[in-house]
Structure 1
Amino acid sequence: MHGGTRAHVRWVPPPDGLFKINTDDAVSKHNQRGAVACVCRDSTGAFLGASAMVFDGLINPEVLETIACSEALALAEDMHIAKPWVASDCLNVIKEINEGGSNGQQCMIVKQILLKKDQFLEAKFSHERREANGDAHRLARSATTLDTGRHVWFSDPPSELGVVVNILNNQ
C-alpha cells in the first residue's frame, strides 16, 4: 500500500447467518518458506479476525491451500463461529473437500477438514476467483516474512487488509 492508503478489495459477501473466511497461500521467492492466511468478515464486510501460519520448507501450493482451509476452520473455532463459509481460489482443493477425499499429498489434511467440518452447525466450502480474495492473498504474501508458526488477529486487522467493496453490488 503506497502513501498509507488501503487497497479496495472486491469481495463476495456471505448470506446472513454465515461468516466468510477467505483463504490463500504464498511461497517466498527468497527462501524455502510458505505461508497461509485466513480473513474472516461478516455479511456487511466488517473485519472479525484473521490468522496466518508460516512454514519453513513447505512450498507446495496445493498442500498449502489445503492447510489454509483447515486453518480457516481453526479460526472459526477460535471465534466461536457456528456457520463458517470458507472460500479459496484453489478449485482442486475445494473439489477434494466437497467430494469427500483426496489421493494427493494433502489427503490427510483433507480427512482432518472433513472430521472438523462436522463439528459446525454448517460449514460451506466454495471456490472464488482470486479477484475476490485480495485480503487473504496480501496477508499470505506478507506472512512469509513473519516468524514460523501461527499468528492471529482478533480486534485490529493486519495492515495488509484493504477496504472491502461488495463485488455483488459494488458497494
Structure 2
Amino acid sequence: MIFLSNSLISPGVGTIFWSTAIFLLFFFILAKFAWKPILNMIKQREETIKNSLDAAAQAREEVVKLKGDNEEILRKAKEEREIMLKEARDIRDKMMAEARDKASIEAEKLISKAKNDIELEKTKALSEIKDQVATLSVAIASKLIGEQLSKGAEQQKLIDKYLKDINVN
C-alpha cells in the first residue's frame, strides 16, 4: 500500500503526460460536442428568464393601466348614472306639474260648468216661480174682479204683460 500511495503523491512524467493528454482530449471532445449545446441552452434559458421578467413587468404595467382605465370607467358610469337620475327626476317633476296643472284646469272647468248649471237651474226656477206667481195672480185677480178671461191665449198675453212690468230677481 505504501507503494501505491507514494506514486500518487509524486507522480511520474508519464502519468502527468497521459493525464494531460486525456484531459485535453476530454476537453476537446467536450468543447466540440458538449459546450456549444450547453452554452446554447444556458443562453436560451437566460433569454427565457429575461423574456419572462419583461413579460411580468409588462403585465404589471398593463394591470396598473387597466386599473386606471377601470377607475375611469367607473367614474364615468357614476357620472352617467347621476345624469340619468337627474333627468328622470326632472321628467317626473315635469309630469307631476303637468298632471297638477291638468287637474287644476279640469277642476276649474267642472266648477265653471257647475256654476253655469246652477245659474241655468236658478233661471229656470225663477221662470217657473214667475209663471206660478203669474198664474196665481191671475186666479186671484179674476176672483177679485169677478171676471174670467175666456181664452187661454188672452190669458197668456196678460201674464206676459204683467211679468214685463214686474222685475223680480
TM class by smaller structure: under 0.3
Structure with bigger RCO (C-alpha 8 Å, 6+ apart): 1
**More strand as a share of residues:** 1
Q: Considering only CA atoms, is the larger Rg found in Structure 1 or Structure 2?
A: 2
Is the helix fraction higher in 1 or 2? 2
